[in-house]
Structure 1
Amino acid sequence: MTREHPRPLLQPTDDFDWIIGSDEPGAAQRLAQETSWALLDRVREGADPAVVDRVVGLASGSGIDDIAELWAGESTHSLAGVLWRLYLLRRVVAGDAEGSAELFRRGVAVAVTIDPVVAGVAEPVTPLGIAELCDTILRGAFTGDLGDALDRAASYCRIMSLGSADLADARDELDDAHAAHLTTRALRYQTLAQELHAGARRWRDGTLA
């Protein structure tokens, strides 16, 4: 039985207010599972660089709307959910590469963990470099070990969370509203980091749906 699904609204980068997670079972969930596994299997089996480039490039074009419609409501218990989060990170950079690069630079400067090494990015950190990093992470999900790609994305998110918090502190005395917005963004990146790390663990133990 065909079911109508509303097309999710992609918020502007400045808002970063996507709500990820769904408690609606049924056809939509099965379709999300089937399409995500079919895409992963097809790309891995073919290993055609041109195909991989097209799949990664969906994050920068109108194809992201189709991905969102299928996968945006899925949790990190599913392949669709973790792949959507990887696409989401790339989409955010596509919307504001300069701002993303600034947050990453700030995050690296205050990080006291190995996250900058795990995430990896060419120095100096530039908007192009951040976009290429996200492409590399997303490409790794289809051509390498998905668990490693998810852990790398989690490290990226932790760095972005630190950068957002650091910039919030710097803006606190100048613009309370902007500082509060950046603090919220820091929390969202931290949540994404936790979700991606959990997805990596499920991939490795074979419990990713």
Structure 2
Amino acid sequence: MSDESREFHKPVRRPAELFDRRFAAEDPAEVSRVAHSTAQALLARARTDPDGEIVERLVAFTSEHGIDDIAELWSRSPSRSLPGALWRLYLIQLMIHDDPQTAALLYERGRLEIASVDPVVAGAPTPAGPDELVDLVDTILRGLFQGDFAVALDRAAAFSRVQASGASHLADDYEATEPERASALTTRALRLADYATDLTACAALWRRESLS
């Protein structure tokens, strides 16, 4: 990403800094209420935008503003809630934009190793390079606001599982020679696997009209 070189934009906070970050709140109940109401309002507004201009701004949000603004509202929401799902999607998007080369490496390794239909569900071309993965994650995020919300969540979950598979197998490769790198890859794999589980659950809740 090139935000750090843009003179008038807020610095982008890197994904590694955000996985375990906690934000202070004077009234957690009020923060939760605002998180849910803003997520619902944002989704409703985007779906009534006939020209798609709002959707494009939402897809490009982290490129323009970083992720602190939405993190303040959504990062502490339950993982299986509407703001929790949106938070995970934005964080995955930022991870891919931040380092598309590594993302492509993990995805291709995961695609070759995983024994499931997840690569097909995710919808990346074969093979998928850095540019293709950036386009894919933006397309998935766009689908949240314009298409079938549950399908977009399922695609994001499948994408995360492929990435997790790639990270796990690369961690095994580096275990003997670069243990620190192996540990970092294992941590990423576990987090992505958790995200995949949460996003799949959110998709099921959405289909039951129970995601709020």
Match of 1:3 in 2: none
Which residue of the other structure, out of 139, 142, 146, is the alignment partner of 1:139? 142
Cα RMSD for the two superposed structures: 2.1
Paired residues for 1:1-209 under 5 Å: 12-13=14-15, 15=16, 18-19=19-20, 25-209=28-212
Amino acid aligned to 2:55: V
Taking the aligned partners of 2:22 and 2:204, their CA distance within structure 1 comes to 18
Percent identity reads: 41
1:11 Cα deviation from its structure 2 partner: 5.8
Question: Does the 8 Å CA contact 1:16/1:185 hold for their aligned counterparts?
Answer: no
Taking the aligned partners of 1:59 and 1:114, their CA distance within structure 2 comes to 30
Describe the shift of the 1:193–1:21 C-alpha distance in structure 2 as closer, same or farther (beyond 3 A): farther
Describe the shift of the 1:17–1:182 C-alpha distance in structure 2 as closer, same or farther (beyond 3 A): farther
TM-score when normalising by structure 2: 0.87
Amino acid aligned to 1:190: A
Between 25-34 and 153-162, the greater mean CA deviation after superposition: 25-34
1:95 Cα deviation from its structure 2 partner: 1.0
Runs of 4+ residues over 6 Å off in structure 1: none
Taking the aligned partners of 1:179 and 1:122, their CA distance within structure 2 comes to 27
Aligned positions, number: 200
Amino acid aligned to 1:98: Q
1:59 Cα deviation from its structure 2 partner: 2.5
CA deviations 1:55-87 (Å, max 9, x no partner) are 110132315221111111111332111011111
Question: Does the 8 Å CA contact 2:171/2:185 hold for their aligned counterparts?
Answer: yes
CA deviations 1:16-37 (Å, max 9, x no partner) are 7613899x74110010011101
Taking the aligned partners of 2:48 and 2:60, their CA distance within structure 1 comes to 19
